[in-house]
Structure 1
Amino acid sequence: MIRSSKAGEGKDRHGPRLNGAAMASPIDELESLRARLQDTGAEISGSLFQERHTEVFDQYFRRSVQESPQCHALFRRGISFGFLAVGGYGRRELCLHSDIDLVILFDKRIPQEASGIVTEILYPLWDLGLELGYGTRTVKDCMKLAAEDLEVLTSLMDARFLCGDSPLFLKLAEKLQRKVFRPRSRVLVEKLLADQDARTQKFGDASHRLEPDLKEGIGGLRDYHHMLWMAKALLGLRVPRDLEVLGALSSSEYDQLCKHLDVVWQIRRHLHRLSGRANDRLYFEYQDPIAQTLGYPERKGFPPVEQFLGRLHEAMAGIKALHRAFVEDHVTSPSKQSVPVHVRGLPPALSAGKRGLSFGSPEAIPADPPLLMEIFWWSARSGMTLSREALRLVGEFLHLVDHRFRTKPQVSDRFLEMLRAPYLHQALEKMLESGFL
């Protein structure tokens, strides 16, 4: 990492004077705003913290470019350039110690003054001990690297204009969409699925781990990022809310996703604070302090840390389930979706296909509520999972699962029988995912 301890040597750190008083320089303002933001506790959500933290850096770059002599010189010479936030910074997901990833974009060539811009604007951030990842590139450079490298491609899919010449950014975005994203959409999806398999082997299922990786573990934030990238490639998604607008997720599923993400983001924020660095592995030593910070109460037989981990595992299981459902709906070949599968003895109110067990019709559930238990019993017995649509319907009819429902002999008997079934674990996992259990 390039670092300069003398970036501001010989220069006044204060900016212009207003009524005789020195205004804080961009870097001093950044330090002050970050310090105030770090002092906030559990009173602001994980998503709100990230938005505010991102805005602090946005403001720094915009002010710095506005006040930079090197940037003014380029503007006077008619040389177009732009600052782009990419990766997590582009997604507005800056956690406390996240890397700040940037592209300083030029049109056809990189002028000599580019190194001066780096010295003026980026060196002060390194002097604060911040982690920066940046590239000074032309439009052609970005196109070439995006076509060759998955990490570069996905970071540019998250690119967001900060300051400079916006038409230059739009030129890059249009070229990437036309020449890279669309033609290579299936290749991108295949690489993301391969990456998912590699993450499974390396990090495991975070929704069950005692020391989960909040970012790379299955059920972690990377599952969400994969959904966004695949939706951009296949559906033309522009902002996360489009997951609902484009029909990739239902309204209730999108709301669930936001709640699950906020749980993980909030915990990750406090993990960074306690670690004093970018750390996504929730080691035992951090779990009690975070549970206390987030206000989990003492309950007899149920310590705060267990409540805390239970909520985290629930959130990560939800993210994992929504990611898997998205892949099933939009990546799996449609020709395989409706192929029927024979399951001996399956009642007419249920059906089986390549996607799993389904209800014969939504109307059958309110007419016969014990079907909600029946489908899980058949899953535990046959080894077939519930289809995406079946899980949705279970969620929509959870209001039927009340005391009267649970005390029906037909329901309680099926549940006890299910506990002896060969595929019990799979059925219980789906019960948790759907909210039935």
Structure 2
Amino acid sequence: MAIGAEKNLHNIKCENAAETLRRERQKLYEDSLKEYTPVFLEKHSRLMDDYFIESFEKSKIGPVMAIGRNPFAIIALGGYGREEQCLFSDVDLLFLFEDRVPEHTEKLIKEVVYPLWDIGLEVGYATRSLKECINMGASDNQILTSLLDARFICGMSFLYSRLMEQVHKKILNKGSEKIIRGLVESNSLRHQRYGDSAYMLEPNIKEGQGGLRDYHTILWIARILSDIKKPRDLEYYGYLSHNDFNDLSECLSFIWHVRNRLHYLAGRKCDQLYFEYQPKLANELKFKLENGHKPVERFLGELHGRMEFLKQQLMMFLYEFGYDRKQPRRRKFFKHTKIDGLEVTKRGSLNFISSEKILTDPELLIKIFEESVNLRIPLSAEAKRLIKEFGYLIDDTFISSDSAIRSFEKILVAPPASFNVLTEMLNTGFLECFIPEIKGIVNRIQFDEYHIYPVDRHSLRTVRTIKNFGTGDDITGDWLCGNLYQELKNKKYYYGLPFCMI
């Protein structure tokens, strides 16, 4: 066979592999439309793996590059590396060489990557030597996090092992604290740019606060600290309780499902949930009209609840490991509680001494919030879990208890802290148990151009706005409101107004 004919035949084979991938991806998504499965992302990633493995095995350029003298490997990065490949997510690749990047590399890229571009996939790739990867990862956290997500696909596997070994030895072991601080700072800047998704009617489900990047931040920090391999290791290494991990998995599954559907509706990578897509998504996800709530309102309520949970998980994770501030917390100045049944943990958060104490004194469920206000420290993740678990103890006797009502009034009139205790009461389900009428507005969205926040968050924000009247944090800037507010003697009645309007 002539050389030109052989080359054309090889190009046809590569194109056929890409066309096969296109058909398999389409079939996978059509099947998921009938019945969505949480393993869609993994299956999609595996389809991509099959393409690269076949391309590597049938490559005409690979043998010319003398893989024996200068070994190379194809490695998945980013979401593809984590096996979170959504429908139109970027396919991020690393062509890793042991010594140097050879001159034939561009031909290899053309052979492997170009057919994917032809079928409409967005492929990002880097060609680097092992030494270049380590040097760049040490100076750029964005490159480092992509390496933390790295996963071997094909080629010489020992190169991948050596890469990960050197990442830990030459980068993480030498400056993990500084790296984590940098990640937290980047995370904070991202939140400022994209906003708090739990309070936005057009949330960015990837980059916004409460979006998928919050989960990735937890994952990256845990990988730096404990070298975890799989998400389930978050439970095995004690970062999350069993229940919290299951709730997190359920939360992520829903958000990924929404993201996939959003990609399909937009016909491209799209993570901003614009108004035009919301009714269509609600319909596709089979939300129905219920108790006067439109399908789109029920869908958005569900989504906001999931994203709020994700946001809270990251905030508590950072707090408990001392990464919630720019400077490390001085642990020796921790405060102590005098409430029998409560304790301040070594990480500086409030917890119950035991679950038995809650059973003998159910009012600890509200006292812990009151003490959180007094000491100005948040609840631990374990305390939040126990409040959810023992919410059934908040019965009519509890609600009508004079001491419980006094505790709630003290919480209402307390000055606003850096964290909002009322928000914590809402997130743990305590507030809707203590004030049952609130249940009807939890995560409720009113799909119109007037309401900016979910109704429950709007009510709590109203309380916070009233508290800030006449202070430097007064967003109204109304001097009359400030002056009148300062003259009030029984402010607690005004804090209760947003709840009376439910």
TM range (shorter): 0.7 to 0.9
SS at match of 1:182: helix
CA shift in 2, pair 1:307/1:9, >3 Å: farther
Contact 1:381/1:418, CA 8 A, preserved across alignment: no
One-letter code aligned to 1:133: G
Contact 1:379 1:423 in 2 (8 A): no
Q: Percent identity?
A: 36
Partner deviation per Cα, 1:25-61 (whole Å, 9 max, x = no partner): 211210111111232316213x422111111111110
Return the offset for 1:160.
Answer: 0.3
| Equivalent residue pairs, number | 418
Determine whether 1:368 maps to 2:376.
no
- Which whole-Å CA distance do the structure 2 matches of 1:220 and 1:184 have between them? 27
Q: Which has the higher contact order (CA 8 A, sep 6+)?
A: 1
CA contact (8 A) 1:200 1:217 kept: yes
How much has 1:166 moved relative to structure 2?
Answer: 0.4
Cα distance in 1 for residues equivalent to 2:45 and 2:25:
10
8 Å contact from structure 2 (residues 235, 242) kept in 1: yes
After TM superposition, the structure 1 stretch with the greater mean CA deviation from structure 2, 417-426 or 219-228, is: 417-426
Gaps of 5+ in 1: 1-7, 17-23
Query: What is the CA-CA distance between 1:388 and the residue it aligns to?
Result: 3.3
Structure 1 match to 2:39: 48
Q: Distance in 2 between matches of 1:382 and 1:338?
A: 12
- 1:229-308 correspondence to structure 2 within 5 Å: 229-308=220-299
1:125 aligns with 2:116: yes
**RMSD over equivalenced CA pairs, Å:** 2.8
Are 2:283 and 1:316 aligned? no
Quote the Cα distance in structure 2 between the aligned partners of 1:222 and 1:363: 37
Say if 2:381 is the partner of 1:388. Answer: yes
- CA shift, 1:62, in A, is 0.6
Provide closer, same or farther for how the CA distance between residues 320 and 76 of structure 1 changes in structure 2, counting only shifts above 3 A. closer
Distance in 2 (CA, whole Å) between partners of 1:60 and 1:151 is 27
1:430 aligns with 2:424: yes
Confirm or deny: 8 A CA contact 2:320 2:349 kept in the other structure: no
Q: How many Å apart are 1:205 and its aligned residue?
A: 1.2
TM-score (norm 1): 0.87
Residue type of the alignment partner of 1:165: M
Give the whole-Å Cα distance in 1 for the aligned partners of 2:101 and 2:75.
15
Per-residue deviation, 1:334: 7.3
Letter in 2 for 1:339: F
Q: Secondary structure at the match of 1:44?
A: coil
Q: Helix, strand or coil: the match of 1:103?
A: strand
Instruction: Name the aligned partner's letter for residue 207 of structure 2.
Output: E
Distance, in Å, in 1 between the alignment partners of 2:413 and 2:44 is 50
Distance 1:296 1:329 in 2: 37
Label 1:180 to 1:257 Cα distance change in 2 as closer, same or farther (>3 A): same
1:373–1:414 contact (8 Å) kept in structure 2: no
Contact 2:363-2:398 at 8 Å conserved across structures: no
Give 2:331's aligned amino acid: K
For 1:287 and 1:29, the matched residues in 2 are separated by 32
Structure 1 Cα separation of the partners of residues 380 and 332 of structure 2? 10
CA distance in 2, matches of 1:199, 1:300: 37
2: CA distance between counterparts of 1:380 and 1:291?
39
CA contact (8 A) 1:214 1:264 kept: yes
Where does the alignment leave 5 or more consecutive residues of structure 2 unmatched? 1-5, 433-502
Cα displacement (A) at 1:330? 2.3
Change (3 A) 1:398 1:14: farther
Q: Secondary structure at the match of 2:47?
A: helix
Query: Cα distance, 1:74 vs. partner?
Result: 3.7
The equivalent of 1:88 in structure 2 is: 79
Mapped contact 1:370–1:410 kept (Cα < 8 A): no
Residues 61 and 107 in structure 2, CA contact (< 8 A), matched pair in contact too: yes
**What is the rounded CA distance, in whole Å, between the counterparts of 1:412 and 1:302 in structure 2?**
33
- Report the equivalent of 2:157: 166
Compared CA separation, residues 84 and 405, structure 1 to 2 (3 A)? farther
Structure 1 residues 168 and 263, CA gap change in structure 2 (3 angstroms): same
**C-alpha offsets along residues 333-359 of structure 1, whole Å, 9 cap, x if unaligned?**
5752771157xxx74344568834433
